[in-house]
A and B are shown apart, each in its own frame.
Chain A
Amino acid sequence: MRKKNLYVTLSFMLMLSIVGCKKDTVDPNESELITTVKVVLTEKVSGTQSIFEFKDLDGVGGAAPSKFDEIILARGKVYDCKLQLLNESKTPVDDITLEVTAEGVDHQIYLSASNALAAVSNLNNDAKGLPLGITSTWTAAAVAGTGTMNVTLKHKPGVKAAGDLVSKGDTDLAIDFKLSVK
């Protein structure tokens, strides 16, 4: 009886220590990283397309961004804007835009130009009719100038509401592209 008791205790402890050593299995498709933001602008009249890009393959910290374009607009022109969010650290490349669109009710993109260089309107809506901003219309200023175009993606699960300020929610993206109107 005595020996049995000891044996039970020991095996119980052994069992517990094995539980702790289990390694987690990993789903390699799961990743939250956004490495690349592409601003695809199509001029309404001519249909000319230009792409401006920010790229930082190793995410926050580490090496500096490998690509950080200046956005160039022509005076008084109107553009259709489409944003592309990618994770290029993986093969094949992960298109985060699809995910953001699918979960549109939890996300919102804010676009704002400094020095009144461009007016942003016509942001597309999410399933609940609130602005999402994957696509938009940009109207360049009538006079030349330089400044920045801020692109911010906010994540606000369950709390997105009409008239939200850019300060609300968790920041997934915040990039100040250099902007010049020529």
Chain B
Amino acid sequence: MRLLAAISIFLFSALHLNAQCILRISGTVKDADTRSSLVGATVSIIELKKTILTDIEGKYVLSGICPGDYTLRITHADCQALDFHFHLKEDLIKTFQLSHAENLLKEVVVVGAATVRPEGMTGELKGKELAATRGLSLGESLQRITGVTVLQTGNNIYKPVIQGLHSSRILILNNGIRQEGQQWGSEHAPEIDPYVANRLTVIKGAASVRYGGDAIGGVVLVEPRLLQYKKEMQGEINLAAFSNNRQGVISAMVESGFDKNETTAWRVQGTLKRGGNARTPEYWLKNSGVQEMNMSAAAGWRKNNKGAEIFYSIFNTNIGIFSGAHIGNLTDLENAIRAQTPPAYIRDEGFSYAIDRPYQDVQHHLFKFKAFSEMVGHSRINLTLSSQLNIRKEFDLTRSASDLPQLQLNLQTHMADLVWEHFAEKKIKGSVGVNAMYQDNYINYRYFVPNYQSVDLGFWAAERYQHEKWQVELGLRYDHRNRFNIKDNDPKPFDLLMGNALVSGDPYGQRIFSGLSGTGVVAYKFSDHLRTSFTASTAWRSPQVNELFSNGLHHGAARIERGSPNLNPERAFSVLGTVVYNNEKWEAELGIYQKGINGFIYLKPAYPALLTIRGAFPAFDYAQTDASLTGMDMRLAYRLTNHLQAHVKGSVLRAYNATEKTWLIQMPSDRFEADLEYSFIDGKKWKQSSIKFGMQHVTEQTHVPPTGNIKVTDATGITKMQSDYMVPPPAYTLFNAEATTAIDVRKRRIELVLSATNLFNMSYRDYMNAFRYFALDRGRNISLKIKLPI
């Protein structure tokens, strides 16, 4: 009935539409920070190719427009472009505020010189798209971006994978600070509360000259909204509820200023999350609950041409590890795979919020201080100081009751960052900087990696040249990394730390790495509709301490991982080409990449399995090879009518081990997505309503080594040598739906998103989920998200 009504409204408006092309859009464009009018800002209706410049008072008028859905793009030199989607049925008066991209606290990111984020290699989640991911973890949210997949451990631990690369190969910038969590394993998820951000950006493939050259895979930016220097108090409450694991999330934010002169600002934000056991289509996953408690606070001060900002955040999580995935040894693993389903006493367990052993308890603190001072001749100095403390505890199943963890790692990081940005010249803009970082790692209980300290120094410069349709960017960086004081542990209490040989003294020596990384981008704009860019970069990553020195049991993976102390840094050479095309009907983005990584560090299965008191364990050694990753990400959108839009996305990757002439294991298979979205006309009360149906198809990963050194006996008793304990799971297709709307209540807009993933409750397993050996993936999940302004 509602659909019928919607269709008739739509038909009526379509008839109506042809009749009157007399509407006008007018308003003012202002600087978001100074509130002054912007002269010479470009205002264009993309669909109609109508463009106008704002006058001396910042005003614009576009007239003779037919009713319909449009996108207005407002741009101004040095400001961040703004897109505004709207439905026009009567004259519209609208004031836009552009935030100064370079002149205020906004960070200069990635490729270097400017906020330029080459189209086609960048993906963003903001506004409506971000609202639909509220309540999910960071990794899970980022999956919406083309070319981003996840490395999953059960249903709570998601690590983002960009074009096949993850962990220490990608850089996560949390509020402009390099996130230094514990990246030792696939079951260590980023320790970030996504509610802090109002925009999540992924920059694929580019080395970050600005923050360290080791981001071979790409960069994830978690960006909060700029502080609002206003006395009036404002804020929002976000609520989210999920059916699958009966998860509830509440997040609230309040902000204001201390004075009327708009020189100070503060913000406090917090999130609480609790979820219970997740459900597959056939059974509950025992002990797969999650709890989170996060908080952040920020304050800022600015006057004339100076400013300072402090930010503190704490992230706390307790993550239950699915009971059926905790296995004792190789035999247990083989039994679990052969059974294809968890044992009855685990499978028959119902729903519960309780989190028992095994579980992880992770805490992350971030403290940031930032100051800037603008100098004569349009340049600026930024100083950023930050401290991070990451405390990770893993609680295994124990024989006797205990409050102590079986593994604890404390990682402390302190960073200092000084940047000089200059944008006086019209054609050349850029920045030069130096970073220093000190790290200290402390370990207790079960040995996994040694204690160590490290000092990293980096020097970099990045410049951008712009001339007519051409834009060229160049960035160069030198890094020096020193790992020292690498020790097993303090000799006392000796017996708490076990594993390894417990060598006393300084058995591991010191490792020093240094090298250059660089990026070059050339972008050319054929027209407003067709743009293209080409990027070439080289980057290197020094081996991580776990890759060098780990020696011990990796729980959750039930394997023994052994480091190789003589590993050398890996070096990547990447080329990336993008084409972006759009017109009234079409939007298309295509990115093609090729990365050659010399000395790619990976876990190589060793044979035979290692004998221990708890039976045989598969052993893996860190080894190096030459890898080649070739792939393509594409996105297409087609506007069928003013209300109906179709989207198609796809990513394809081939990862090859060039030394051993075989495929690399643990790489995401090809995936394709399609959806159809219908947007309703704004009603009196209900605004921005839309419904969307989509499907996602993930292919079977067939590009795995055909043989290996793992002996696998199948159900019929035939023994084969394989590269994995279980062959990759078959392809699957999932369906999902999403409905969004907003309602104005007393001038405040309440936003609602209702969505369903795995709509038909399909049973499937994903190759990138470490728990595919033990259980099915999650079944249907219906969620409701509400955003209330206060």
- Cβ-defined contact, A170 with B345, below 8 A: no
- Cβ-defined contact, B399 with A60, below 8 A: no
Give the Cβ gap from B91 to chain A, nearest Cβ, in Å: 44
- Cβ-defined contact, B499 with A65, below 8 A: no
Which residues in A have their C-beta under 8 angstroms from that of B310? 13
- Cβ-defined contact, A63 with B614, below 8 A: no
- Cβ-defined contact, A58 with B258, below 8 A: no
Report the Cα distance A129→B331, complex, angstroms: 28
Report the Cα distance A16→B364, complex, angstroms: 12
Q: Mark A32-69, 1 if CB is under 8 A from B, else 0.
A: 11110100000000000000001010111111110000
A106 nearest in chain B by CB position: B399
Question: Which positions 95-135 of chain A face chain B at CB distance < 8 Å?
Answer: 96, 99-100, 103, 106-107
Report the Cα distance A153→B69, complex, angstroms: 69
B375 interface contact, C-beta 8 A: no
Which residues in B have their C-beta under 8 angstroms from that of A58? 498-502
Give the Cβ gap from B294 to chain A, nearest Cβ, in Å: 12
Select the stretch in B46-54, B120-128, B195-203, B400-408 that faces chain A: B400-408
Select the stretch in A1-9, A70-78, A136-144 that faces chain B: A1-9
- Cβ-defined contact, A174 with B498, below 8 A: no
Contact of A9 among B266, B335, B560 (CB under 8 A): B266
- Cβ-defined contact, B613 with A65, below 8 A: yes
A34 nearest in chain B by CB position: B613
- Cβ-defined contact, B259 with A35, below 8 A: no
Q: Which residue, of A27, A32, A61, A167, has the highest number of chain B Cβ atoms within 10 A? A: A61
- Cβ-defined contact, A168 with B343, below 8 A: yes
- Cβ-defined contact, A28 with B408, below 8 A: no
- Cβ-defined contact, A171 with B258, below 8 A: no
Give the Cβ gap from A29 to chain B, nearest Cβ, in Å: 9
- Cβ-defined contact, A175 with B398, below 8 A: no
- Cβ-defined contact, B501 with A62, below 8 A: yes
- Cβ-defined contact, B613 with A56, below 8 A: yes
B367 nearest in chain A by CB position: A17
Give the Cβ gap from A98 to chain B, nearest Cβ, in Å: 11
Q: A13-B297, A62-B551 are in contact. Are A172 and B389 (CB under 8 A)?
A: no
Which residues in B have their C-beta under 8 angstroms from that of A26? 404, 444, 493, 496
Report the Cα distance A54→B562, complex, angstroms: 23
- Cβ-defined contact, A171 with B332, below 8 A: yes
Report the Cα distance A107→B328, complex, angstroms: 14
Which residues in A have their C-beta under 8 angstroms from that of B314? 16, 20
Contact of A61 among B391, B398, B406, B551 (CB under 8 A): B551
B491 interface contact, C-beta 8 A: no
Give the Cβ gap from B333 to chain A, nearest Cβ, in Å: 10
A167 nearest in chain B by CB position: B335
Contact of A175 among B295, B332, B399, B613 (CB under 8 A): B613
Report the Cα distance A144→B615, complex, angstroms: 27
- Cβ-defined contact, A13 with B312, below 8 A: yes
- Cβ-defined contact, A28 with B297, below 8 A: no
B447 interface contact, C-beta 8 A: yes
Which residues in A have their C-beta under 8 angstroms from that of B402? 30, 32
- Cβ-defined contact, B399 with A155, below 8 A: yes
- Cβ-defined contact, A174 with B328, below 8 A: yes
- Cβ-defined contact, B498 with A59, below 8 A: yes
Q: Mark A155-181, 1 if CB is under 8 A from B, else 0.
A: 111010000000110111111000000
Q: Mark B289-307, 1 if CB is under 8 A from A, else 0.
A: 0000001010100000000
- Cβ-defined contact, B297 with A62, below 8 A: no
Seen from chain A, the residues whose Cβ lies within 8 Å of a Cβ on chain B are 2, 5-6, 9, 12-13, 16-17, 20-21, 24, 26-28, 30-35, 37, 54, 56, 58-65, 89-90, 96, 99-100, 103, 106-107, 152, 155-157, 159, 167-168, 170-175
Known: A32-B398, A61-B551, A171-B329. 6 other contacts (CB 8 A): A9-B297, A13-B312, A20-B389, A31-B498, A100-B399, A175-B613
What are 8 of the A-B contact pairs (CB < 8 Å)? A26-B404, A27-B404, A59-B498, A63-B501, A65-B613, A100-B399, A168-B343, A170-B326
